Amino acid sequence: MQKHEQSYWGGVVKSMGLVFGDIGTSPIYTLSVIFALTKPTPDNIYGILSLIVWTLFVLVTVEYAWLAMSLGRKGEGGTIVLKEILVRLLKGGRAMGFIGMLSFIGVSLLLGDGVITPAISILSAVEGLELIPVTANLSEAGVIAIAATIAIILFIFQSKGTDKVAGAFGPLMVLWFSALTVSGLIAIAGHPEVLKSISPWYAIKFFLDNGMSGFFVLSEVILCATGGEALYADMGHLGRKPIVRAWYFVFVALVINYLGQGAFLLEHQHEKNTLFAMIHGQAPYLYIPFLLLTILATVIASQALISGVFSIIYQGITTRIMPLMKVDYTSSHLKSQIYIGSVNWTLMVLVLFIMLLFKKSENLAAAYGLAVTGSMAITGIMMTMIFANTTKKWKVPIAVAVTVVDFVFLIANLNKLPHGGYWSLILASVPFLTILLWTKGQRALYRALKPLDVETFLMSYEQIYAKNRTIPGIGLFFTREWAVVPPYVVHCIIRSNIIYERNVFISIIRTDEPFGVSYKLTENRGTGLDSFEIFAGYMEVIDIETLLKKNNIHEKVIFYGVEDITTNNPIWKVFNAIKKLSPNFVQFNQLPASKLQGVLTRVEM
């Protein structure tokens, strides 16, 4: 039994609230955007519906629900997990550098996506106000102002934690998918001939009829699958089974709604906002409640994405590819419920900036999709490599076929670059450059610090301890690993003769599993010298104080190293600035301030 095991329906409802908001709200804008660029002739409508159905099947069901979700570590998923699996399988070598770079790009694209998704979802929902007589003449600025207000409220509430309201997300999304299904079925009943577009022949015919311009339509078709990557990235919240089960319901609801919108378009070719116009035509009295439900659904979608961004960054911090940041834990029992203030406010500013820059959801759609297809292609490459190196070699041809489809979509999306697509690359480049600078800087700093091996250290240590000038109590010293002694410890103990009756070297080692905490206390490494090693998963929140007390370590003082970097290299100057702005290791782990003693070490880089 997994820790996530829960009732069948309970799991499905929760998944709908936490995982499917993004992909579930794509029917609001997908067809409107496609047919703003393509003539809604019956042949084109059948062709595009066929493309949408098969895109959802290949890119979401096959790539994520079947292939990617069979690869998890203790129930966690995502690009960093794929990297950790490959690290174990490949055990070093040239491929490792390639895998590291791929995972950095994948993580950065997902983070860039975290800005565009809330902006396009909320804007497209608010644009539905144009069909209500009272707000029909609402200006573009008015639409942006309402969307921006909703976004600001959403970000302000993040610090409170979503734990308390998350319970309502599932039922609301069930209501949303039910509304999509019912409206779709009503429209299909009027034109049952749209059902034939489920056949892949219509997708092929669309390409044959439209040639190159048909190929570029794929860059808009991908909008129906944005959010598909969340199935895998959010696996840690709920486990695999409930998400896959919920996806089958969501898949059916989305297909029925897209077919319904297609049926509506056969009669109303000139409607701009397909979904809203269809609902307005079917049930004018229910239009306003539906619009409110739409806005709620987009808020839930944005919420899930913001939580996902926090999780990715926390994984990045603990696997040492990103700088430390102040993390607040908003739930006493849900480890996945975290809040990172600096990330939250940066995201908010960027979302508002993107709304003001693009003004309309269809303009934003012109920039949207590059990051998603790039992320999907990277997942495809990494999955193929994993299957090729395990006993599941029979999955390799399927993974290769899916990856080829990913690349076809990615190439089609390159034509978005001049139309604002470069913004998704600009947004992704910020985390990417930060990761590169941080990982390279940490390595260079470690080399520049010239740590001492423990054997050399122990020779001097024993001589000083033998002089019997020890300070009563226990002194704690943080080190990266037991066998390597950082310069600040040498400075404290050897040069300054600060030596306690009992000295404990404490190190935190992050394992390549997401969860699990174990520890090992080794006494008498030297006279009055012990080591305490904590092994923790990269999603774990560690309560160091409790673990120390459990092992009867009641420290008098906690020493840690602070590096004062001097450099003429402009790149290392930026690295130094980031290091100064980010909290240090002991602040991140929330240790008692009254016992802390920082020891400065000057380093030339």
pLDDT at residue 74 above 90?
no
Q: So what's the pLDDT on residue 284?
A: 92
Tell me the mean pLDDT in the region 86-105: 84
Regarding predicted confidence, which is higher, 587 or 496?
Answer: 496
> pLDDT tens, 451-485?
888 888 999 899 989 988 889 999 999 888 888 89
CB of 455 within 8 A of CB of 488?
Answer: no
- At 454 the pLDDT is 86
**Dihedral of the alpha carbons of 287, 289, 291, 297, in degrees to the nearest 10:** -140
Task: From 511, 482, 49, select the one nearest 257 (Cα to Cα).
Answer: 49
For the chain, the straight-line distance linking the first and the last C-alpha, in angstroms and rounded, comes to 51
pLDDT grade for 163, boundaries at 50, 70 and 90: low
Q: What is the pLDDT of residue 80?
A: 80
Q: What is the mean pLDDT of residues 420-443?
A: 91
pLDDT at 5 over 70: no
Q: How confident is the model at residue 15 (pLDDT cuts 50, 70, 90)?
A: confident
Q: For 73, which DSSP code?
A: B
Q: Tokens in use for 362? A: 């269809």
pLDDT of amino acid 285: 92
**pLDDT at site 97:** 85
Q: What is the pLDDT of residue 4?
A: 42
**Section 276-300 average pLDDT:** 93
Question: What does pLDDT average to over the chain?
Answer: 88
Q: Assess whether pLDDT exceeds 80 at residue 226.
A: yes
The DSSP secondary structure of 573-591, one letter per residue, reads: HHHHHHHHHS--HHHHTT-
pLDDT for 165 beyond 70: no
pLDDT value of position 336: 57
The mean per-residue pLDDT over the stretch 263-286 comes to 92
| Beta bridge partner(s), residue 322 | none
DSSP string covering 344-388, please? Answer: HHHHHHHHHHHHHHH-SHHHHHTTTTHHHHHHHHHHHHHHHHHHH
Instruction: State yes or no: pLDDT of 590 exceeds 80.
Output: no
Q: What is the pTM of this model?
A: 0.86
Q: Which of 298-307, 395-404, 534-543, 574-583 has the lowest mean pLDDT?
A: 534-543
Determine the pLDDT at residue 258.
Answer: 97
Residue 6: predicted pLDDT:
58
Mean pLDDT computed over 241-255 = 94
Instruction: Using pLDDT thresholds of 50, 70 and 90, give the confidence band for residue 334.
Output: low
What pLDDT shows up at residue 366?
Answer: 77
C-alpha span between 351 and 194 (Å, rounded): 37
536: left (phi over 0), alpha (psi -120 to 50) or beta: beta
Question: Quick one: DSSP state of residue 528?
Answer: T
Residue 351 near residue 115, CB atoms below 8 Å: yes
Query: Mean pLDDT across the stretch 115-129?
Result: 90
Which is higher by pLDDT, 388 or 166?
Answer: 388
Q: How far apart are alpha carbons 604 and 13 in whole angstroms?
A: 56
What is the pLDDT confidence band of residue 402, given thresholds at 50, 70 and 90?
A: very high
User: Among the listed ranges 2-16, 189-203, 492-506, which one has the minimum average pLDDT value?
Assistant: 2-16
Name, in order, each residue with C-beta under 8 angstroms of 484's C-beta and a sequence gap of 6 or more.
451, 452, 453, 454
Distance of alpha carbon 274 from alpha carbon 260, whole angstroms: 10
Highest mean pLDDT among 16-25, 76-85, 215-224: 215-224
CB 602 within 8 A of CB 567: no
Statement: residue 383 has pLDDT above 90: yes
Region 205-234: mean pLDDT is 90
